[in-house]
Structure 1
Amino acid sequence: MENRRFILIGILGALLFFIYQAWQKDYPAAAPVPATAAAPAADVPKAAATETSAAAATPADAQAADTGERIRVETDLFIAEIAARGGELRRLQLKDYAAVKDQPARMALLDDEAGRLFVLQSGLAGPQAPLSSPDTVYSSAQSSYQLSQGNDQLEVLLTHQNADGVLIRKTYVFKRGSYQIDLAQSVQNASAAPLSLSPYVRLLRTAYQQGGEPRFAHTFTGVGFYQQAEAGSAKYKFKKTALDKLDKEKVEQAQTGGWISILQHYFVAAIIPPADEAVTYSARPRSSAPGYIAQYVGNAVSVAPGAEQRFATRLYIGPKLQDHVAEVAPGFELTLDYGLLSFIAKYMFLVLKFFHGLTANWGVAIILLTLVVKLALYKLSEAQYRSMARMKVFSPKIQEIRERYADDRERQQKAMMDLYKKEGFNPLAGCWPILVQFPVFISLYWVLLESVELRQAPFALWLQDLSAPDPFYVLPVLYGITMFLQQRLSGNQTMDPTQQRVMQIMPIALTAFFAFFQSGLVLYWVVNGLISIAQQWYIMRKLDREGAKK
Structure 2
Amino acid sequence: MTDIRRTVLWVVFTMSLVLLWDGWQKHNGHPSMFSPAPAKPAAAASAPAGGVPASAALPAATAAAGSPGVPATTVQAPASETVEIRTDVIKATLDSQGGSLVRVELLKHKDESDPSGNVVLLKRSAGHTYVAQTGLVGIAGAPNHLNAMTVQPGARELAEGAQELVVRFESPEMGGVKLIKTYSFKRGDYAVSVKHEVQNLSAAPLSPQLYVQLMRDGSAGPGESSFYATFTGPAVYTDKAKFQKLDFEDIGKNKAEFEKSASDGWVAMVQHYFASAWLRNAQSPREFFARKVDNNLYTVGMVFPMGQAAPGASVSAEDLLFVGPQEEKKLAVLAPGLELVKDYGWFTILSKPLFWLLDQLHKLLGNWGWAIIALVVLLKIAFYWLNASAYRSMAKMKAVNPRIMELRERLKDKPQQMQQEMMRIYREEKVNPIGSCLPIFLQMPFFIALYWVLLSSVEMRHAPWILWITDLSAKDPYYILPVLMTVTSLFQVWLNPAPPDPVQAKMMWIMPLAFGVMFFFFPSGLVLYWLVNNILSIAQQWMINKQMGVQH
TM-score between the two structures when normalised by the length of structure 1: 0.87
Q: Paired residue for 2:501, among 496, 501, 506? A: 496
Q: 1:16 matched to which residue of 2?
A: 18
| Alignment partners' CA distance in 2, 1:125 and 1:293 | 16
Q: Paired residue for 1:344, among 343, 350, 360? A: 350
Q: Secondary structure at the match of 1:464?
A: coil
Paired residues of 1:44 and 1:59 also in contact (CA < 8 A): no
Paired residues of 1:101 and 1:456 also in contact (CA < 8 A): no
| Alignment partners' CA distance in 1, 2:528 and 2:76 | 45
Instruction: Please say if 1:269 is aligned against 2:280.
Output: no
| Alignment partners' CA distance in 1, 2:278 and 2:286 | 12
| Alignment partners' CA distance in 1, 2:431 and 2:540 | 22
Q: Paired residue for 1:221, among 227, 232, 245? A: 232
1:49-74 alpha-carbon deviations (Å, 9 max, x no partner): 79xxxxx9433332488863111111
Q: Secondary structure at the match of 1:161?
A: coil
Tell me how far 1:114 sits from its aligned partner: 4.7
Q: 2:73 matched to which residue of 1?
A: 61
Q: Residues 278 and 420 (structure 1 numbering): CA distance in 2 closer, same or farther, change over 3 Å?
A: same
Kindly provide the amino acid, as one letter, of the partner of residue 285 in structure 2: A
Quick check: 59-68 or 481-490, which moved more?
59-68
Tell me how far 1:44 sits from its aligned partner: 7.1
Quick check: 312-321 or 186-195, which moved more?
186-195
1:342-395 alpha-carbon deviations (Å, 9 max, x no partner): 222222212221221122211111111222222222223332332233223423
Q: 2:188 matched to which residue of 1?
A: 177
Which consecutive unaligned segments of at least 5 residues does structure 1 have? 31-40, 51-55, 229-234
Paired residues of 1:81 and 1:91 also in contact (CA < 8 A): yes
Instruction: Please say if 1:211 is aligned against 2:211.
Output: no
Q: Paired residue for 1:361, among 355, 362, 367? A: 367
Paired residues of 1:66 and 1:83 also in contact (CA < 8 A): no
Kindly provide the amino acid, as one letter, of the partner of residue 273 in structure 2: Y
| Alignment partners' CA distance in 2, 1:263 and 1:44 | 19
Q: Paired residue for 1:431, among 415, 437, 449? A: 437
Q: 2:140 matched to which residue of 1?
A: 128
Kindly provide the amino acid, as one letter, of the partner of residue 542 in structure 1: Q
Tell me how far 1:278 sits from its aligned partner: 1.2
| Alignment partners' CA distance in 1, 2:394 and 2:367 | 37
Instruction: Please say if 1:150 is aligned against 2:161.
Output: yes
Q: Residues 382 and 523 (structure 1 numbering): CA distance in 2 closer, same or farther, change over 3 Å?
A: same
Q: Paired residue for 2:131, among 119, 122, 125? A: 119
What is the root-mean-square deviation of aligned Cα atoms in Å? 2.9
| Alignment partners' CA distance in 2, 1:103 and 1:357 | 33
Paired residues of 1:238 and 1:331 also in contact (CA < 8 A): yes
Q: Aligned runs of 1:158-197 on 2, under 5 Å?
A: 158-162=169-173, 166-197=177-208
Kindly provide the amino acid, as one letter, of the partner of residue 533 in structure 2: N
Higher relative contact order (CA 8 A, sep 6+): 1
Kindly provide the amino acid, as one letter, of the partner of residue 528 in structure 1: N
| Alignment partners' CA distance in 2, 1:316 and 1:225 | 14
Tell me how far 1:119 sits from its aligned partner: 0.7
Q: Paired residue for 2:152, among 109, 131, 140? A: 140
| Alignment partners' CA distance in 1, 2:70 and 2:508 | 63
Q: Paired residue for 1:305, among 301, 307, 311? A: 311
Tell me how far 1:236 sits from its aligned partner: 4.0
Which consecutive unaligned segments of at least 5 residues does structure 2 have? 33-47, 58-67
Quick check: 436-445 or 101-110, which moved more?
101-110
1:165-207 alpha-carbon deviations (Å, 9 max, x no partner): 8543110111222222111111223333433311111111111
Q: Paired residue for 2:515, among 497, 510, 513? A: 510
Paired residues of 1:82 and 1:90 also in contact (CA < 8 A): yes
Across the two proteins, how many residue pairs are aligned to each other? 522
Tell me how far 1:104 sits from its aligned partner: 5.4
Q: Residues 49 and 157 (structure 1 numbering): CA distance in 2 closer, same or farther, change over 3 Å?
A: closer
Tell me how far 1:120 sits from its aligned partner: 0.9
Q: Aligned runs of 1:343-492 on 2, under 5 Å?
A: 343-407=349-413, 409=415, 412-492=418-498
Q: Residues 490 and 66 (structure 1 numbering): CA distance in 2 closer, same or farther, change over 3 Å?
A: farther
| Alignment partners' CA distance in 2, 1:335 and 1:392 | 47
| Alignment partners' CA distance in 2, 1:87 and 1:424 | 76
Kindly provide the amino acid, as one letter, of the partner of residue 351 in structure 1: L
Kindly provide the amino acid, as one letter, of the partner of residue 187 in structure 1: V
Q: 1:83 matched to which residue of 2?
A: 95
Q: Secondary structure at the match of 2:229?
A: coil
Paired residues of 1:226 and 1:236 also in contact (CA < 8 A): yes
Q: 2:549 matched to which residue of 1?
A: 544
TM-score between the two structures when normalised by the length of structure 2: 0.86
Identity of aligned residues (%): 37
Paired residues of 1:10 and 1:435 also in contact (CA < 8 A): no
Q: 2:533 matched to which residue of 1?
A: 528
Paired residues of 2:261 and 2:287 also in contact (CA < 8 A): yes
| Alignment partners' CA distance in 2, 1:103 and 1:355 | 35
Q: Secondary structure at the match of 1:72?
A: strand
Q: Residues 76 and 410 (structure 1 numbering): CA distance in 2 closer, same or farther, change over 3 Å?
A: farther
Q: 1:97 matched to which residue of 2?
A: 109
Q: 1:37 matched to which residue of 2?
A: none
Q: Residues 443 and 103 (structure 1 numbering): CA distance in 2 closer, same or farther, change over 3 Å?
A: farther
| Alignment partners' CA distance in 1, 2:435 and 2:23 | 31
Q: Secondary structure at the match of 1:323?
A: helix
Q: 1:281 matched to which residue of 2?
A: 288
| Alignment partners' CA distance in 2, 1:425 and 1:490 | 14
Q: 1:243 matched to which residue of 2?
A: 248
Kindly provide the amino acid, as one letter, of the partner of residue 389 in structure 2: A
The ranges of structure 1 where at least 4 consecutive aligned residues each deviate by more than 6 angstroms after the TM superposition are none
Paired residues of 1:58 and 1:126 also in contact (CA < 8 A): no
Tell me how far 1:88 sits from its aligned partner: 0.6
Q: Paired residue for 1:257, among 261, 264, 281? A: 264
Q: Residues 87 and 409 (structure 1 numbering): CA distance in 2 closer, same or farther, change over 3 Å?
A: farther
